[in-house]
Amino acid sequence: MNVDYEKAEREIQKILESYDPDAVLEKIVKYLYNNFKKYSWIGIYLLHGNKLVLSHWKGKNATEHNIIPIGKGICGAAAQTGKTIVVPDVSKDKRYLSCFLSTKSEIVVPIKKNNKIIGEIDIDSDLLKAFDKKDLIFLEKTAKMLSNIL
Ligand code: SME
């Protein structure tokens, strides 16, 4: 059987282009919110120039921090260093930009493509010390999977 490799390549490209990242991000924030009680607010920020722009979120309330410059807040610090930041008690971290009075701890996980930051997952919890090693590993894996479709 003769296979038309060029045609196959074009078809595969078409399939990949039809992938809707918006729909995927929407589903991911919903999934995390609905399945992890301690995750009180989940946001996915995408990097535009030197600013993080909130793309999708799920939680009780909207944040006023829709745009965060690199270097500002926990989010901006994670984007600057490229490393996950876990803040067990936000009241003790001077970098913290407050969004919700109920937030007690936070984790920010960078999303990277070819070693460059393209965005991040930001999760607030109403519980102190909500994020442990398991959350960190799981969310870093999630960030890696997301980077494949972004
Ligand atoms: N607390 C973050 C700001 C974003 S809100 O949590 C939604 C920070 O310190 O960067």
Question: How many CB atoms within 10 Å of residue 96?
Answer: 17
CA nearest neighbour of 145 among 32, 51, 40? 32
Strands 51-59 and 41-48: what pairing? Answer: antiparallel
Q: Taking 80 as the threshold, does the pLDDT of residue 1 lie above it?
A: no
Query: With a 6 A CB cut-off, is 77 part of the ligand 1 pocket?
Result: no
Whichever domain contains 42, its CATH number is 3.30.450.40
Report whether 105 contacts 90 (CB < 8 A).
yes
pLDDT greater at residue 14 or residue 28: 28
Average pLDDT of the residues of the chain = 94
Cα–Cα separations (whole angstroms), residue 134 to 81, 121, 130, 139: 21, 15, 11, 8
Cα–Cα distance measured from residue 66 to residue 55, given in angstroms and rounded to the nearest whole number: 8
pLDDT tens track for 69-111:
999 999 999 999 999 999 999 999 999 999 999 999 999 999 9
Confidence of residue 149 (pLDDT cuts 50, 70, 90): confident
Confidence of residue 51 (pLDDT cuts 50, 70, 90): very high
Q: Ligand 1: which residue has its CA nearest to atom 5?
A: 99
Give the total number of structural domains in the chain: 1
Question: How many CB atoms within 10 Å of residue 37?
Answer: 11
Query: With a 6 A CB cut-off, is 65 part of the ligand 1 pocket?
Result: yes
Taken as a whole, the chain contains a residue count of 150
Please give the residue range of the domain that contains residue 63: 5-147
